[in-house]
Amino acid sequence: NLKMIYYVTPTYPRPEQAPELTRLAHTLMHVPRLHWIIADDQPICSELVLNILRRTNLPFTHISSPKPFIYKGTNFPRGVSNRRAALTWLQENVGEGILYFGDDDNTVDLQLFEEIRNTKKVSMFPVGLIGGYGISSPVVKNGKVAGFFDSWPGSRTFPVDMAGFAVNIEFLKPTATMPYIAGHEEDKFLVSLGLQMEDIEPLADNCTKILVWHTKTVKYKKPTVKINLKQLGELPK
């Protein structure tokens, strides 16, 4: 009897959204007992996202919660309002299972799902392609997490990436929340759970294997010529 994995993906509209979500969908479709929660950074749930979700045949929840309008520019906390909405939905509707925050642009090895499924409280593992070290990872000594290897400690208690941990939903306190503080979303969330170092379960062979990467897609530059897709059959002229 496998525990359900609740895979929480914040997303927002841009030219790369459909390809990112399509690629992620095709990974998640290989995973048994997975419930995909897509949290839309939109006033209402987008048709494009819903159509991708429907075609996966996965159990899913599609919710929308746009960022407060004050957050624009470059260094704003990304995906917080929508992740918070997913968190509230889980707290109100789900009593057991595993929570994982999986962004729409990351790359996940299917082995990760087998590893996180038995999380008792909070499990942690390395994430590739992070910061100046190219990796963010807990450091394991004698089977326990003894510290963290991350190029930006930032006076954080748990300097880890959003993709570097999973949480047993029974360990989610009513106080669990994510702050609107860029760079501190993960740490403050884990602190809000009352997490202690000794509670952390290291996965991925004592944090020696990379099973998830913080990939980023190059931003698409707007086309310089307007093409009407209805005319594609007549192209090129």
User: Is residue 115 annotated as a catalytic residue, yes or no?
Assistant: no
Annotated binding-site residue? 105: yes
Site string for ligand UDP, 171-190 (x = CB under 6 A): --------------------
φ/ψ (deg, to 5) at 136? -125, 125
Q: At which residue do the structure tokens 């941990």 appear? A: 165
Residue in 186, 198, 201, 234 annotated catalytic: 186
**Residue 150 interaction partner, one of Mn ion, ligand UDP, none, beta carbon < 5-8 Å per kind:** none
- Sequence-distant (≥ 6) Cβ neighbours of residue 17 within 8 angstroms: 11, 48, 49, 104
Contact between 12 and ligand UDP by CB under 6 A: the answer reads yes
Contact between 105 and Mn ion by CB under 5 A: the answer reads yes
Contact 28, 55 (CB under 8 A): no
> What 8-state DSSP symbol labels residue 48?
H
Tokens of 203: 């996965």
Q: Which is nearer to Mn ion, 24 or 87 (CB)?
A: 24
List the 107-108 sheet strands across, edge first.
107-108, 212-213, 127-128, 135-141, 144-149
Contact between 82 and ligand UDP by CB under 6 A: the answer reads yes
Contact between 41 and Mn ion by CB under 5 A: the answer reads no
If 0-12 CB within 10 Å is exposed, 13-18 middle and 19+ buried, where does residue 119 land? buried
Q: Shortest approach of ligand UDP to residue 12 CB, angstroms?
A: 4
Q: Give the footprint of ligand UDP on residues 105-144 (CB under 6 A).
A: 105
Query: What residues are annotated to the active site?
Result: 186
List residues binding Mn ion (CB under 5 A). 103, 105
